[in-house]
């Protein structure tokens, strides 16, 4: 028996259930994030067997770290030098895996799947991020809400972590009923048809392309999404503001900054940040001003833009990639996530907007006076291995998808595609894009040339490398149309990849 577990859980749970979110965030605002991260370092050094061994193996003199200012000198940990070197129990508190009671598995998209244990105590901190979403974006404290978890269930992190966090909110008193059909479209639609009429709003939570499939399938079956006041929570993929507008139109959304939220989450660190009405309004401004976006983000693609609580997830930028420090079943101290991205303070972001002529964001959907908590911003791009290089230009899925989301195109296509580069009979390079059609659409009935031209036009607008590197004669991609859920390129139930080598 772990006799300290009930006391620790009771204290943490009592604080979560009884303390208003505004009070928690006010305390965090006055805290010192780096000193807090330094405290986690000291705890990990003392309590986690693998960590002092890791520092020694890295040749790092731990006695040289005396103050929070020394924190940035600590070596970065990652999967290769930490997770795959030391056993899972050694990476846990007191070297005891049984002190955790939940388990998640990373997707394994970059290698062997990794186990990530946690406890309810760690989960409650992430539940506060869901509370921010449900309270400030969806007014879930005042509206009876049906939450439908559309992430796959099982050991994969998305479904169970999301369901648990929503259950914690319901326990706190939010008028929230949580349904867990997982990624079963027919069951999701059955839940919505039977239960959504009993609630003020319904929230669908899942991966963006899958939620879109659910919405499109419902429309094909006569579901009137607008009748259910649908809200959306996404994770796992970057999407464009055109895509947000397209989905909003299909569910009857009229409030783009308050009807959907994207989470930045990982299996190892939980939810690191999330979109807020303010960050969405800023992103909508940047989507219409690509030069300003390139200046801010340094790339010709629009990343996910979130706000984060640095007292919960302490983020750093290392050579244009992100590292996080946070407490989990496996504590992370300067853990290199390797996601390309960046961070900016709240004040710096607002100053950047003013410098680019944006003094107010109401025209982009933000309600007057709603600036939320003064939290810093983080941005994260899709993984670099989802790009293709064509004539030396990096072409990103985030560029191509905008071409598929134009009004004259989106009525025929699902939004999924696969990019490849080929050579023609003369050995000249070709950009080949396989595009998935909507259910009921057949390749012979859809104008592939119009789709190719739309992609060319939008990639030219968004990607200066493409415009300057690729010869004009090669800028129009070769488009191949495939039926919905084509087993070769778009198999159902499998996480989609946008590139093939």
Q: Mean of the pLDDT values across residues 16-21?
A: 93
Give the number of residues written for the chain.
501
**Residue 470's pLDDT is what?**
82
pLDDT tens-place string over residues 388-435: 878 767 788 888 999 999 999 999 999 999 999 886 665 567 899 999
Separation of alpha carbons 148 and 163, rounded Å:
9
Q: Mean of the pLDDT values across residues 72-80?
A: 95
pLDDT tens-place string over residues 85-144: 999 999 999 999 988 888 887 754 444 568 889 988 899 999 999 999 999 999 999 999
Q: Is 80 exceeded by the pLDDT of residue 299?
A: yes
pLDDT tens-place string over residues 330-364: 999 999 987 889 999 999 999 999 999 998 899 99
Per DSSP, 75 falls in state P
Separation of alpha carbons 244 and 112, rounded Å:
33
Q: CB neighbours (10 Å) of residue 300?
A: 22
Give the list of residues 6+ apart from residue 17 with CB closer than 8 angstroms, or none. 171, 172, 173
**Residue 474's pLDDT is what?**
85
The answer to whether residues 83 and 112 touch, using CB atoms and an 8 Å cutoff, is no
Separation of alpha carbons 360 and 357, rounded Å:
9
Q: CB neighbours (10 Å) of residue 418?
A: 21
The answer to whether residues 21 and 132 touch, using CB atoms and an 8 Å cutoff, is yes
Q: Is 50 exceeded by the pLDDT of residue 379?
A: yes
pLDDT tens-place string over residues 447-498: 999 999 999 999 999 887 788 778 788 899 999 999 998 999 998 766 778 8
Dihedral sign for Cα 362, 365, 368, 369, please: negative
Maximum mean pLDDT: which of 117-121, 204-208, 324-328: 324-328
What's the pLDDT band for 72 if we cut at 50, 70, 90? very high
Name the nearest CA neighbour of 308 among 265, 351, 362: 265
DSSP conformation letters of 326-376: E-SSS-EEEEEEEEEEEEE-HHHHHHHHHHTT----GGGTPPTT---S---
Separation of alpha carbons 299 and 291, rounded Å:
10
**Residue 110's pLDDT is what?**
42
Q: Are strands 429-437 and 478-482 parallel, antiparallel or unpaired?
A: parallel
Q: Mean of the pLDDT values across residues 224-239?
A: 92
């Amino acid at each position: 028996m772990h006799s300290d577990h009930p006391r620790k859980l009771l204290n943490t749970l009592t604080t979560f259930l009884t303390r208003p979110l505004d009070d928690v965030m006010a305390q965090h605002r006055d805290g010192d994030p780096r000193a807090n991260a330094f405290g986690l370092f000291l705890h990990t050094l003392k309590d986690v067997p693998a960590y002092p061994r890791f520092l020694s193996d890295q040749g790092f003199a731990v006695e040289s770290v005396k103050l929070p200012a020394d924190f940035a000198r600590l070596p970065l940990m990652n999967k290769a030098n930490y997770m795959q070197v030391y056993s899972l129990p050694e990476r846990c508190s007191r070297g005891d895996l049984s002190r955790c009671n939940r388990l998640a598995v990373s997707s394994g998209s970059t290698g062997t799947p990794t186990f990530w244990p946690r406890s309810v105590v760690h989960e409650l901190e992430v539940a506060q991020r869901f509370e921010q979403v449900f309270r400030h974006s969806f007014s879930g404290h005042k509206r009876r809400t049906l939450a439908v978890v559309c992430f796959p269930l099982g050991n994969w992190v998305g479904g169970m972590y999301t369901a648990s966090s929503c259950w914690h909110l319901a326990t706190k008193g939010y008028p929230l009923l949580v349904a867990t059909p997982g990624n079963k479209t027919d069951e999701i639609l059955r839940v919505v048809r039977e239960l959504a009429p009993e609630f003020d709003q319904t929230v669908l939570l899942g991966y963006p392309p899958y939620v879109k499939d659910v919405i499109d399938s419902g429309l094909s079956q006569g579901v009137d999404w607008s009748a259910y006041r649908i809200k959306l929570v996404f994770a796992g993929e970057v999407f464009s503001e055109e895509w947000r507008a397209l989905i909003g139109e299909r569910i009857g959304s009229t409030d783009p900054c308050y009807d959907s939220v994207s989470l930045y989450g990982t299996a190892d660190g939980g939810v690191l940040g999330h979109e807020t009405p303010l960050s969405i309004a800023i992103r909508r401004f940047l989507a219409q001003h690509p030069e300003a976006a390139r200046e801010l983000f340094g790339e010709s693609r629009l990343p996910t833009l979130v706000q984060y609580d640095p007292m919960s997830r302490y983020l750093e930028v290392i050579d244009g990639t992100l590292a996080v420090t946070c407490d989990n079943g496996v504590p992370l101290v300067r853990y290199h996530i390797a996601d390309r991205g960046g961070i900016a303070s709240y004040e710096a972001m607002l100053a950047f907007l003013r410098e680019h002529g944006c003094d107010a964001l109401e025209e982009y959907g933000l309600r007057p006076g709603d600036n939320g908590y003064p939290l810093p911003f983080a941005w994260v791009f899709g993984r670099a291995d989802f790009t293709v290089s064509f004539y030396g230009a990096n072409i990103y899925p985030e560029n191509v998808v905008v071409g598929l989301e134009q009004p004259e195109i989106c009525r025929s296509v699902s939004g999924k595609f696969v990019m490849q580069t080929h050579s023609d009979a003369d050995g000249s390079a070709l950009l080949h894009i396989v595009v998935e059609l909507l259910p009921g659409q057949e390749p012979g009935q859809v104008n592939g040339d119009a789709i190719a031209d739309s992609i060319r036009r939008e990639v030219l607008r968004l990607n200066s490398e493409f415009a300057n590197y690729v010869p004009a004669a090669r800028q129009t991609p070769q488009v191949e149309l495939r039926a919905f859920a084509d087993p070769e390129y778009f198999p159902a139930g499998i996480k989609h990849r946008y590139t093939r080598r």
